[in-house]
Amino acid sequence: MASIVSFMRTQHLAASENLVQRIRGLAESHQCAALVCASKRLVIRGDIGRYFDPDNLLPTLHELVLEGQCDWQRLDAGDSSLKLLSAESGRNLEDLLWTLAFNSYTEERNCMHMGCRRDDVVRLQHWPNLTRVPASRNTFRLAALFSARPTSIALAGKILGINECEVLRFYSAAWSAGLVTRVNRVAEPVKLVQHRNHSLIGALMKHLRKESATA
């Protein structure tokens, strides 16, 4: 892998690095980079939404970042060597983002610290590839619920009878991978319903006011 990729601008990753945010930013800007940890490499092509992990780095990537063993290397997207890493030979970037967010989830490290909220009402746009990403025993149930109907994070745990932390872990992974849409509804304006005897009551009040004025 090293022989076919020319590396540019290396940066050491701190243990506190939010790798999910960094990779999302890379994808949104259609740029490319490589993660180098303990002599293993994982290449990210944000320009085509794919990643390449010939050294099987992903399963231990979160732990290696926490141990301070990883470098981030920016790549020139126009480099001819990157063209050898075609879309057909890579994997979907959403699998990478889901895996990182799922494996790194803690109360201090989740999407609640990146703008998400417990009262978000979300819909799952499509299911994660559960044959290729980490999951809990309730991931299938959560995916089924959020894809069937928009549901709030707080309510989902009550409906399924599972711990809210597990719902938040699912939400963090799905949000990081770009699989969910927030559909919180704007409160509808209150409509005043006219009483069926409104006209009669109005006429009576008008008559009483008239009688009072002439008394």
Mean pLDDT along residues 61-86: 85
Q: Angle formed by the axes of helices 58-66 and 93-103, to 10°? A: 50
| Amino acid 209: pLDDT | 46
| Amino acid 199: pLDDT | 52
Classify residue 122 as exposed, middle or buried by CB count within 10 Å of its CB (0-12, 13-18, 19+): buried
The answer to the question of residue 96 being in a domain is no
118 against 208, higher pLDDT: 118
Given a cut of 50, is residue 193 above it in pLDDT? no
Give the tens place of pLDDT for each residue, 124-144: 999 999 999 999 999 999 999
Total domains present in the chain:
2
- 133 and 53: one domain? no
AA letter at 68: G
Mean pLDDT along residues 178-186: 79
Hey, which residues does 33 pair with through a beta bridge? 44, 74
Question: At 2, is the pLDDT very low, low, confident or very high (cuts 50, 70, 90)?
Answer: very low
- 119 and 76: one domain? no
Count Cβ atoms below 10 Å from residue 200 Cβ, excluding itself.
Answer: 10
Cβ density class 22-52: b for 16+ within 10 Å, e for less: bbbebbeeebbbbbbbeebbbbbbbbbbbbb
The answer to the question of residue 122 being in a domain is yes
In the chain, the percentage of residues whose pLDDT exceeds 90 is 61
The answer to the question of residue 103 being in a domain is no
Question: At 110, is the pLDDT very low, low, confident or very high (cuts 50, 70, 90)?
Answer: confident
The answer to the question of residue 170 being in a domain is yes
The answer to the question of residue 148 being in a domain is yes
- 17 and 70: one domain? yes
| Whole-number Cα distances in Å, 69 to 1, 14, 60, 72 | 19, 9, 11, 10
Q: Which domain holds residue 71?
A: 2-89
The answer to the question of residue 105 being in a domain is no
| Amino acid 100: pLDDT | 95
Given a cut of 60, is residue 52 above it in pLDDT? yes
| Amino acid 210: pLDDT | 52
